[in-house]
Structure 1
Amino acid sequence: MEGEIKEALEIFVTTADKLLGNRIVAAYCYGSAAYDDFHRGYSDLDFFIVADTVLTEEDFRHFHELREVYKGSRNRYLAVLEGEIVPYSGIKSREGNVIYWGTTKDRFNRGYGLRGFSMRGLLEAGYLISGRDIRAEIPCPPEAEMLEQVESMIETIKKYAVRTDRDIHSVDWLFLISQSIYWLKTGKTTGKTHAARWVLENCRYPWKGLLGKAIELRLSPDLARNQSWQLWLEQLGEGIQLACASLEAEMQLLVRTEK
């Protein structure tokens, strides 16, 4: 993990701990940064904080204000923080108040949402920012939950990714599909770039030619400003549907094999 990313995470967690009265038990980074796959202009910086306290609406207001400061910050890492602050008492039951920071909004929720691939990624490859490592206390998502998440994503892609636009994250469907295929075939989770490269090297799908360009764009997000790349992005719908069909076939094969 890059030094600048670690520094930003430490700044955030130090501030968060003060806001919570020094009650943080463990603070993790997971996702792209934990896989050494963070790319400015494309990636978010994901966190999962466990605090030994009952989170209140006043706590939420304090973190809402902090998020607003970070969103306007010149620090390119603090500006893209996303994740959850959860009570230690609820890490097994998923009960209790939770502070959530998303891409476009923050919320005061009941029960935390981290599950499936993201939770597996935290448990397998998460980076401990501060505190003690309590991952052994957090339930690992079972295969049924992982398959349910894959199935849900397939239905979402069929419904909403028939057409794409010029947004750089239109290509993200290909990475999510690649991560799912990687898990179905290896039983492990990995970062988006590694998953896409693995599919390129190990699978024969009619759509995998798209992955080379997808990787190029992820590694160099500024390319998305070029008209030729924008046209490519808005024409990805058919390729994404082909990729989705491959994912569905791989999932069905695994389910049949296990019966």
Structure 2
Amino acid sequence: MNKSIDIMVNTIADILIDNNPSIYILGSVVLDDFQLGWSDIDILCLTEHSISSDQAEKLLHLRQELSAKYINSPYFRAFEGGFISLEAFLNKQEDKVVYWGTTGERIAEHYEFDVFSMMNLMDYGRLLYGKDIRFLLNYPNVKAQFDAINDYYCIIRKYFDKPSRSLYAAGNLLDIARCLYTLQSGKIISKTNAGLWALENNLVPDIKIMHRVLKIRKHPNNYKEDEKTLEWLETLGPNIMEFADVLEKNIRIKQVEGGF
């Protein structure tokens, strides 16, 4: 994985050499929780000058090109993130952006970090190329963290009562655990450690469910095509809602304490 990251970063730097890029890795990789078959390799590239149309075209399908060139590496397809000028990123302005996502890639005019990604970048992000410009960024305050967690809670209630037949159903439970951890500590934690923390603090309604989720998390490729596991994941809706009840209770407590 580290060799693939080096190849990716050096290739990006070559394309954007005239733009003085700062390239960061964040997410599960820097939290020592990357699991091939589940996790992404999250990347952020901030440039001193706006990205040109020619550069954007070169970046757009770079994941696929490197996957084809280095056929023995499964990591290039796991890269996700954005490429944008520092000025546009700081001021939330429109600019030429290249975005790599789970479902594809695109050239856009807007790219913005969510609260959790910003916390991850500032606390744990690893600068792999260029100069570190994080001193220019603002760390999300307690109110911003609370609002982000409350927004995620609303998404859980709206969409996760009937999970899909995929590992992401298990991920919903770990995401709730991460929200609880951030709500109580004001910090970010890995998905695996969030699940363990929730168990240790007696926040999990059904500990057997969480233990099975963590088992899948640690070895996702052993389960992602296992029919019994997929059938089980599809039944997790009530368990997700029950854990969401715990999050709701803690949100209300924090709301009163913080006067939000």
Which AA in structure 2 matches 1:202? N
Q: Does the aligned pair in 2 maintain the 1:200–1:208 contact within 8 Å?
A: yes
Percent of aligned pairs with the same residue? 26
Question: What corresponds to 1:43 in structure 2?
Answer: 39
Q: How does 1:35-114 map to 2 (within 5 A)?
A: 35-70=31-66, 72=68, 74=71, 75-95=73-93, 96-114=95-113
* Secondary structure at the counterpart of residue 155 of structure 2: helix
| Cα distance, 1:127 vs structure 2 | 1.3
Give me the whole-angstrom Cα distance separating, in 1, the residues matched to 2:136 and 2:207. Answer: 39
CA RMSD of superposed structures (Å): 1.7
Q: Does the aligned pair in 1 maintain the 2:19–2:50 contact within 8 Å?
A: no
TM-score between the two structures when normalised by the length of structure 2: 0.92
Give me the whole-angstrom Cα distance separating, in 2, the residues matched to 1:84 and 1:207. Answer: 37
Give me the whole-angstrom Cα distance separating, in 2, the residues matched to 1:227 and 1:249. Answer: 35
Runs of 4+ in 1 over 3 A off after TM superposition: 70-73
Give me the whole-angstrom Cα distance separating, in 2, the residues matched to 1:44 and 1:179. Answer: 17
| Cα distance, 1:110 vs structure 2 | 2.5
Give me the whole-angstrom Cα distance separating, in 2, the residues matched to 1:128 and 1:253. Answer: 37
* Secondary structure at the counterpart of residue 47 of structure 1: strand
Give me the whole-angstrom Cα distance separating, in 2, the residues matched to 1:22 and 1:36. Answer: 32
Give me the whole-angstrom Cα distance separating, in 2, the residues matched to 1:194 and 1:22. Answer: 40
- Quick one: structure 1 residues 71 and 167, their matched pair in 2 at CA, closer, same or farther if it must change by over 3 Å? farther
Q: Does the aligned pair in 2 maintain the 1:54–1:87 contact within 8 Å?
A: yes
Q: How does 1:170-185 map to 2 (within 5 A)?
A: 170-185=169-184
Question: What corresponds to 1:158 in structure 2?
Answer: 157
| Residue 32 of structure 2 is aligned to residue 33 of structure 1 | no
Deviations 1:83-126 (A, max 9, x none): 01120222321223221110112122223221211110111011
Give me the whole-angstrom Cα distance separating, in 1, the residues matched to 2:230 and 2:64. Answer: 30
Which AA in structure 2 matches 1:216? K
| Residue 186 of structure 2 is aligned to residue 187 of structure 1 | yes
Question: What corresponds to 2:199 in structure 1?
Answer: 200
Question: What corresponds to 1:250 in structure 2?
Answer: 250
Q: Does the aligned pair in 2 maintain the 1:92–1:139 contact within 8 Å?
A: no
Give me the whole-angstrom Cα distance separating, in 1, the residues matched to 2:134 and 2:23. Answer: 11
- Quick one: structure 1 residues 208 and 186, their matched pair in 2 at CA, closer, same or farther if it must change by over 3 Å? farther
| Residue 142 of structure 2 is aligned to residue 143 of structure 1 | yes
* Secondary structure at the counterpart of residue 224 of structure 1: coil
- Name stretches of at least 5 consecutive residues in structure 2 with no aligned partner: none
Give me the whole-angstrom Cα distance separating, in 1, the residues matched to 2:28 and 2:188. Answer: 12
Q: Select between 108-117 and 29-38 the one with higher mean Cα deviation.
A: 108-117
| Residue 112 of structure 2 is aligned to residue 116 of structure 1 | no
Give me the whole-angstrom Cα distance separating, in 2, the residues matched to 1:217 and 1:144. Answer: 33
Give me the whole-angstrom Cα distance separating, in 2, the residues matched to 1:88 and 1:165. Answer: 37
Give me the whole-angstrom Cα distance separating, in 2, the residues matched to 1:49 and 1:17. Answer: 9
Give me the whole-angstrom Cα distance separating, in 2, the residues matched to 1:196 and 1:24. Answer: 39
- Quick one: structure 1 residues 201 and 165, their matched pair in 2 at CA, closer, same or farther if it must change by over 3 Å? same
* Secondary structure at the counterpart of residue 106 of structure 2: strand
Which AA in structure 1 matches 2:139? C
| Cα distance, 1:163 vs structure 2 | 1.0
* Secondary structure at the counterpart of residue 100 of structure 1: strand
Give me the whole-angstrom Cα distance separating, in 2, the residues matched to 1:258 and 1:65. Answer: 45
Deviations 1:117-147 (A, max 9, x none): 1110111011111222211112222222222
Which AA in structure 2 matches 1:206? P
| Cα distance, 1:223 vs structure 2 | 2.1
* Secondary structure at the counterpart of residue 108 of structure 2: strand
Q: Does the aligned pair in 2 maintain the 1:24–1:49 contact within 8 Å?
A: no
Q: Select between 219-228 and 39-48 the one with higher mean Cα deviation.
A: 219-228
Q: Does the aligned pair in 2 maintain the 1:9–1:129 contact within 8 Å?
A: no
- Name stretches of at least 5 consecutive residues in structure 1 with no aligned partner: none
- Quick one: structure 1 residues 232 and 107, their matched pair in 2 at CA, closer, same or farther if it must change by over 3 Å? same
Give me the whole-angstrom Cα distance separating, in 1, the residues matched to 2:183 and 2:194. Answer: 11
Q: Does the aligned pair in 1 maintain the 2:13–2:129 contact within 8 Å?
A: no
Aligned residues: 255
